[in-house]
Chains A and B, each alone.
Chain A
């Protein structure tokens, strides 16, 4: 800033940011690359000793090619991801709505929180038989399982974000007579967004788990069913290949959701819950 003697002083905008290296931009360091190379080499050696037991990178690569060519791998992955996205979107809408309501209205929080905590803690597998009775063993079952597994993971972060937002900006909004729907849409919701983004990021992994395990359990075509078949045939190559595909899908989805979340809430540091 300039000297105190100037009455109408203007502050100048800072210059552009410095260049960032690819390592910094992606977070990948040479050490990471070396670690992966070492692990693959070790795996290859182990595979040379007991290929039926541990498989090996080359066997898995060959199996991946075979699955892609003859096993319809791509359409199975697409189907699984499609189901996941539909179920997860429904869960997000339900979870955010419920979280917003219990964050905004204390009575609802008091009334509903015990049930939500119970739902959060119950092992999902215990509810699977009920889901099968209600929804059969088709697409409906998978969607219901995803919603059941993931909606709850959005409820608490959204509720916390809503409370935080009201606490931080409620008085400001009142002072400037921003009330009702405008207060909810222009103040509370954007203020809660970083929390919602954190909930979305942790729930997408659980959604993938829910859909794969669901397919595995009821034999609905998809990644989970491939895994089930491979297990039945004690085919280590295929088990590893399918697990790798699931890993890749999970990593990609998490990265995408994380990126979108950071874009949406670039104005503040990430929230971890």
Chain B
């Protein structure tokens, strides 16, 4: 089953009489329960596409269908995880995770029960009374992920969620994310500029080229789950794929600077 269909999507901005194409003719399909990464250099439009998928940014061309229905804005079936966490600093961990439930679940006890379950899922059970500024970056993003999961969406849209974290925390979070993904069966669209991250996490990688952003190539990643980090990284297919993707990205950068 297809969860998301991106059908000839284009996005252009007009400012001061000048037209800038951020995306053009993007075609992509994400299977239900799949893990797809959007990979590319900064400024290639991958984050713009992710925001279009959430309905935060309207497309100027083409159509995005979720479960066969064209989207018109943000909805309960999708949840967004931001690169900079975007937690409400005056709320506790519990308050942040319960935040998106407030217009949906009327009983406070029930909201907190749902929030607690997801806080526990991301391993922060001891921290529900803490405020974001008391937490490390990795812990803050765990809250961001718990908040997204709390609304029980079909699709998780993750915008370089580990981009602001140090290398070690980042690896831990990748393993955590795969565990949660396998546990919940959500569809994940994951934006990153790290080839290794995309390869380790996803089933399929859509590599973007820049200005206007479009999908240059798609790669299937031939490893099953759960993935063992060392086995995967040592596998020759991993190195080959890594090489191919790098060549594609590099060629694009060269074409660009010329």
Q: Note whether A and B form a binding pair.
A: yes
B75 within 8 A of A: yes
Contact B88–A12 (Cβ < 8 Å): no
Contact A1–B79 (Cβ < 8 Å): no
B235 within 8 A of A: no
A182 within 8 A of B: yes
B218 within 8 A of A: no
Query: Which of these, B80, B127, B133, B171, contacts A175 with CB under 8 Å?
Result: B80
Given contacts A7-B175, A8-B123, contact A177 B86 (CB under 8 A): no
Query: Please, which residues of chain A bring their CB within 8 A of the CB of B147?
Result: 176
- In the complex formed, the residue of A with least CB distance to B121 is A8
Contact A169–B86 (Cβ < 8 Å): yes
Interface residues of A in 220-273 (CB under 8 A from B): 265, 267-268
The 8 A CB mask of A1-19 against B (1 = contact, 0 = none) is 1001001111111100000
- In the complex formed, the residue of A with least CB distance to B174 is A4
A186 to B90 CA separation, bound complex (whole angstroms): 10
Given contacts A13-B126, A176-B100, A177-B103, contact A187 B88 (CB under 8 A): yes
* Tally of contacts, chain A with chain B, CB under 8 A: 81
- In the complex formed, the residue of A with least CB distance to B80 is A175
The 8 A CB mask of A82-124 against B (1 = contact, 0 = none) is 0000000000000000000000000000000000000000000
- Size of interface on B: residues with Cβ below 8 Å to A: 38
A171 within 8 A of B: yes
- Size of interface on A: residues with Cβ below 8 Å to B: 28
- In the complex formed, the residue of A with least CB distance to B57 is A171
Contact B123–A177 (Cβ < 8 Å): no
With both chains docked as a complex, state the minimum distance between the C-beta of A151 and any C-beta of chain B, in angstroms. 25
Interface residues of A in 4-54 (CB under 8 A from B): 4, 7-14
Contact A193–B90 (Cβ < 8 Å): yes
A10 to B172 CA separation, bound complex (whole angstroms): 12
Given contacts A1-B172, A4-B172, A182-B103, contact A175 B74 (CB under 8 A): yes
Contact A176–B74 (Cβ < 8 Å): yes
A4 to B170 CA separation, bound complex (whole angstroms): 11
Query: Please, which residues of chain A bring their CB within 8 A of the CB of B168?
Result: 1
B interface with A by C-beta (< 8 Å): 54, 56, 74-76, 79-80, 82, 86, 88-90, 99-100, 102-103, 123-127, 130-134, 138-139, 147, 151, 168-169, 171-172, 175-176, 179, 229
A interface with B by C-beta (< 8 Å): 1, 4, 7-14, 168-169, 171-172, 174-178, 182, 186-187, 190-191, 193, 265, 267-268
User: Closest 9 A-B residue pairs measured CB to CB?
Assistant: A176-B100, A13-B126, A175-B80, A172-B86, A267-B90, A10-B123, A267-B89, A190-B90, A7-B179
